[in-house]
């Protein structure tokens, strides 16, 4: 997941960081490496909001937690929502809305990033569903379904407000192959929203998707694999792929037509424990530890972790 379409004003954020750490020689290195989530939270998605705020969603309760990247402190923004789940998250700075994928509910949600109130509920499908992630473009929010070869489009108004009654189902064709297990997972959009790029976890593949037609083209990875691919992040030509149970992140260099990608780096650190989604704050990368290999209990600990590209395990 995760994956907001933009950050707040760089100058304002920089000023905030300097105020919080005026003697910082290492700048953002003084921010905590680890942000604790509530025990038993069961996170999956994260998204960077305004200022130095990061949001995380709870698979089990549908709650959303908000934390400060500078202090590491946080609290529940969206309280537990009966019958809901929070999987992938995205933040739209134009409207201060957090969009949430609802997993097995077949739904998506829009919450106020200021108050946590529900703004809209989208019934994306009544069929087989694990609504896993979403991406915001200039005029729409697109959600993935890991169990069907479909994505869902929620149009946005000129004021970036969701049009809940105008959900459109886009059937995937072309090269796309639906397999058993978790298929379309993380998703990003190319500049201007011309194409969407999704990772198919079961196929260990990346697809370039035409959002108008659903036509999908397998992206040539030059022999590389995206095994255990989960959350995606696109920064310039660099596509970051979180490999959850591999406990690492791959970085691919995309070509101009987004149909070829070259693996340029793999990085990790010893604090990763089945990371699922990714976002960045002024170039600093954060992932969330979903800890899927650890049986969840009310006392199980969960964290958001800061990672550095210098923690490379292989430069290509």
What's the confidence (pLDDT) of residue 179? 98
| pLDDT above 90 coverage of the chain, percent | 87
Q: Give me the mean pLDDT over the 124-129 stretch.
A: 97
What's the confidence (pLDDT) of residue 28? 60
The rounded distance, in Å, linking the Cα atoms of 143 and 153 is 7
| Cβ atoms 196, 142 nearer than 8 A | yes
One of 2.40.50.180, 3.10.105.10, 3.40.50.2000, 2.130.10.10 is the CATH number of 10-21+34-315, namely 2.130.10.10
What's the confidence (pLDDT) of residue 30? 82
CA proximity to 109, closest of 45, 41, 36: 45
pTM: 0.91
| Cβ atoms 225, 204 nearer than 8 A | yes
pLDDT for 70 beyond 50: yes
What's the confidence (pLDDT) of residue 311? 81
pLDDT for 17 beyond 90: no
Quick one: how many helices (H) and strands (E) in the chain? Answer: 1, 26
The rounded distance, in Å, linking the Cα atoms of 221 and 247 is 20
- HSE-up of residue 223 (Cα within 13 Å, Cβ side): 2
Q: Give me the mean pLDDT over the 177-190 stretch.
A: 98
Q: Give me the mean pLDDT over the 235-252 stretch.
A: 98
Look up residue 170 and give its DSSP letter: E
The rounded distance, in Å, linking the Cα atoms of 20 and 304 is 20
Q: Could you tell me how many residues make up the chain?
A: 316
What's the confidence (pLDDT) of residue 7? 32
What's the confidence (pLDDT) of residue 16? 40
Q: Give me the mean pLDDT over the 163-174 stretch.
A: 97
| Cβ atoms 105, 95 nearer than 8 A | no
The rounded distance, in Å, linking the Cα atoms of 232 and 293 is 21
Planar angle of CA 39, 40, 43, nearest 5 degrees: 100
pLDDT, the chain, mean: 91
Helix residue ranges, H only, the chain: 10-20
Band (313; pLDDT cuts 50, 70, 90): confident
What's the confidence (pLDDT) of residue 6? 38
Where in the chain are the domains? 10-21+34-315
pLDDT tens sequence across 28-50: 678 999 999 999 999 999 999 99
What's the confidence (pLDDT) of residue 294? 98
| Cβ atoms 267, 252 nearer than 8 A | no
pLDDT tens sequence across 188-242: 999 999 999 999 999 999 999 999 999 999 999 999 999 999 999 999 999 999 9
- 194-217 burial string, b = 16+ CB within 10 Å, else e? ebbbbbbbbbbbbbbbbbeebbbb
């Amino acid at each position: 997941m995760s994956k907001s379409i933009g950050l707040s004003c760089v100058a304002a954020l920089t000023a905030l960081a300097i105020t919080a750490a005026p003697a910082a020689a290492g700048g953002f290195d003084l921010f905590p490496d680890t942000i604790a989530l509530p025990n038993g939270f069961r996170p999956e998605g994260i998204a960077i909001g305004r200022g130095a705020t990061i949001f995380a969603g709870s698979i089990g309760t549908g709650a959303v937690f908000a934390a400060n990247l500078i202090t590491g402190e946080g609290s529940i923004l969206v309280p537990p929502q009966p019958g809901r789940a929070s999987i992938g998250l995205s933040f739209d700075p134009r409207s201060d809305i957090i969009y949430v994928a609802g997993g097995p509910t077949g739904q998506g949600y829009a919450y106020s990033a200021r108050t946590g109130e529900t703004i809209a509920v989208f019934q994306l499908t009544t069929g087989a569903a694990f609504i896993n992630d979403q991406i915001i473009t200039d005029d729409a929010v697109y959600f993935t379904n890991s169990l069907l070869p479909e994505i869902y489009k929620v149009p946005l108004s000129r004021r970036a407000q969701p049009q809940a009654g105008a959900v459109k189902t886009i059937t995937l064709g072309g090269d796309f192959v639906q397999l058993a297990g978790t298929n379309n997972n993380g998703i990003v959009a190319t500049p201007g929203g011309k194409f969407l790029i999704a990772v198919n976890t079961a196929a260990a593949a990346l697809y370039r998707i035409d959002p108008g037609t659903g036509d999908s083209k397998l992206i040539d990875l030059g022999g590389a694999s995206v095994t255990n691919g989960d959350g995606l992040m696109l920064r310039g030509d660099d596509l970051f792929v979180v490999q959850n149970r591999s406990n690492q992140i791959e970085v691919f260099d995309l070509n101009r037509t987004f149909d070829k990608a070259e693996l340029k780096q793999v990085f990790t650190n010893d604090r990763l424990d089945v990371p699922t989604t990714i976002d960045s704050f002024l170039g600093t990368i954060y992932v969330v530890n979903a800890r899927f290999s650890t049986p969840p209990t009310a006392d199980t600990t969960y964290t958001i972790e800061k990672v550095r590209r210098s923690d490379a395990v292989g430069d290509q």
